[in-house]
A and B are shown apart, each in its own frame.
Chain A
């Protein structure tokens, strides 16, 4: 395997919230280097600040310390693909309307943006549902729309914030395969946030385990397992136990 280029360098990142009565340190000393076109998983227990980290990466929030360097320069708003846990689809827009909106905001012509949107709708396997409203779709299909919408940004970097967290187990497994299929077909740098250890091992080229108070990087794992991975593979289970032993329990 060729040596991968760096694409995002997160250095000494910290985030503290100043509330009325208290100051809350959420993130501290986060150092992560993201490689080009890798599938990076950020694994951490619930409420540990993963979403805060992702919001900072997405440009929705500013860090209170440290810095994030995008090797090719910070992309402007709208040039990063973001997938949200609760889908965040626009309920009044059809599937097509949702997927094309990024390019609409950018002022692309109708023909151009719809052609692009069509491509990504087909990529996630939703052809035939272009004119459906989100509420007419199942949870898994809604999240496919979310993924297509993020892909339509044509960004090299995709941020996924627990994208399958709201789905039932069955759908979740098939969506995990789906995201790998999409990623292999249309390679981009993926930063995938999850609180699910199996999901992390199943998907990740690299897994960054987050934890501690305030949250920092605990450890990095590189699953040396060929894809498609098998949940019952002894090596898979061994790694799983190792990670679980290192994870902070949140009750």
Chain B
């Protein structure tokens, strides 16, 4: 009984916090001289952008344009990142040769690459894909190489006494053992890639959610900005949900809960 009351109370707290959020929003947006849009204005702006395009695209199209950039870049980042990460983690010589170069470039935030990338590739599709690639690439490399180095030495010993040659040891023992670490890297990479595409589009683009949010700023359309913020947030949450599902599928021995 006591537990039930407690549970109800906590549930009420959760509801009240969201209610409070809305109330604060309403109050702030009705204050004099504020730029903040009211919740209703935001909602009607949302309905409007779903039907009336800005820069030849409605909100779903803008979202798709951004997502497409992320997905293409991501594909490259995963393939190249895992390859480089495995090399750095597995081979001492490879690590000695490329490690310092990678360590030199790694601390530069991907966003700081934007000006250079624009000079090299202009402001078209390629530039954006390259920026997202840089944003996603580093965390995949880092997690893969750290994952390879952190493999339980017992598994490597087991592989050796079971007769694995060096290639089999890498492909059949080390790589599968590293999948959880790689997936963790992919998770970071995806959120970083999504942030980079928004940033790149904010700086120079003709379409995409990042473009749309900056357009909102330029024309003082705060309702549009809030719509974009929410859309960006929702896409990012969905991407992370998708990855959680993928983890269960790709790596059931680590993530699935069935005992």
Direct contact between the two chains A and B in their complex (CB within 8 A): yes
Residues of chain A touching chain B, judged by Cβ–Cβ distance below 8 Å, are 55, 58-60, 76-80, 82, 84, 86, 88-93, 101-102, 104-106, 133-136, 149, 153
Q: Say whether B176 faces chain A, with CB atoms less than 8 Å apart.
A: yes
Known interface pairs A84-B154, A88-B157, A90-B173; A105-B253 also in contact (CB < 8 Å): no
Which A residues are in CB contact (< 8 Å) with B157? 55, 60, 84, 88
A102 touches B176 (CB 8 A): no
Which B residues are in CB contact (< 8 Å) with A153? 162-163
A135 to B180, alpha carbons, bound, how many Å?
15
Known interface pairs A78-B161, A78-B163, A92-B177; A101-B154 also in contact (CB < 8 Å): no
B177 touches A149 (CB 8 A): no
Interface size class of B (residues with CB under 8 A): 20 to 34
A76 to B163, alpha carbons, bound, how many Å?
8
- Nearest chain B CB to A81 CB, angstrom units: 8
Known interface pairs A84-B154, A90-B176, A92-B179; A102-B251 also in contact (CB < 8 Å): no
Q: Say whether B258 faces chain A, with CB atoms less than 8 Å apart.
A: yes
Given contacts A82-B158, A82-B161, A90-B158, 6 further A-B contacts (CB under 8 A): A76-B163, A90-B176, A92-B179, A92-B253, A104-B172, A133-B253
Known interface pairs A88-B155, A90-B173, A105-B168; A80-B253 also in contact (CB < 8 Å): no
| CB contact between A60 and one of B160, B165, B254 (< 8 Å): that residue | B160
Q: Say whether B252 faces chain A, with CB atoms less than 8 Å apart.
A: yes
3 closest cross-chain pairs (CB), A and B = A78-B163, A88-B158, A82-B161
A93 to B155, alpha carbons, bound, how many Å?
12
B164 touches A105 (CB 8 A): yes
- 7 pairs across A/B with beta carbons < 8 Å? A59-B160, A60-B157, A78-B161, A92-B179, A101-B162, A101-B172, A102-B162
What string of 1s and 0s marks CB contacts (under 8 Å) between B240-259 and chain A? Answer: 00000000000111100011
Who on chain A is nearest to B254 by CB? A91
Which B residues are in CB contact (< 8 Å) with A136? 258-259
- Nearest chain A CB to B169 CB, angstrom units: 9
A92 to B254, alpha carbons, bound, how many Å?
8
| CB contact between A105 and one of B155, B172, B254 (< 8 Å): that residue | B172
A232 to B162, alpha carbons, bound, how many Å?
39
B164 touches A78 (CB 8 A): yes
Known interface pairs A134-B253, A135-B253; A105-B158 also in contact (CB < 8 Å): no
A105 touches B165 (CB 8 A): yes
Who on chain B is nearest to A59 by CB? B161
Who on chain B is nearest to A133 by CB? B253
A149 touches B162 (CB 8 A): yes
Which A residues are in CB contact (< 8 Å) with B252? 133
A196 to B164, alpha carbons, bound, how many Å?
32
Which B residues are in CB contact (< 8 Å) with A93? 176
Which A residues are in CB contact (< 8 Å) with B165? 105
- Nearest chain A CB to B151 CB, angstrom units: 11
- Nearest chain A CB to B81 CB, angstrom units: 21
A220 to B238, alpha carbons, bound, how many Å?
66
Of listed A59, A91, A92, A105, residue having the most chain B CB within 10 A: A92
| CB contact between A77 and one of B154, B163, B172, B254 (< 8 Å): that residue | B163
Which B residues are in CB contact (< 8 Å) with A86? 154
A80 to B258, alpha carbons, bound, how many Å?
34
Which A residues are in CB contact (< 8 Å) with B163? 76-79, 102, 105-106, 153
- Nearest chain B CB to A82 CB, angstrom units: 4
- Nearest chain B CB to A99 CB, angstrom units: 10
Who on chain A is nearest to B175 by CB? A92
Which A residues are in CB contact (< 8 Å) with B162? 78, 82, 101-102, 105, 149, 153
A55 to B157, alpha carbons, bound, how many Å?
9
Which A residues are in CB contact (< 8 Å) with B161? 58-60, 77-78, 80, 82
Who on chain A is nearest to B168 by CB? A105
A78 to B165, alpha carbons, bound, how many Å?
10
Which B residues are in CB contact (< 8 Å) with A133? 252-253
B157-212 with Cβ < 8 A to chain A: 157-158, 160-165, 168, 172-173, 176-177, 179
Of listed B160, B179, B254, residue having the most chain A CB within 10 A: B160
| CB contact between B176 and one of A58, A84, A92 (< 8 Å): that residue | A92
- Nearest chain A CB to B249 CB, angstrom units: 13
Which A residues are in CB contact (< 8 Å) with B173? 90
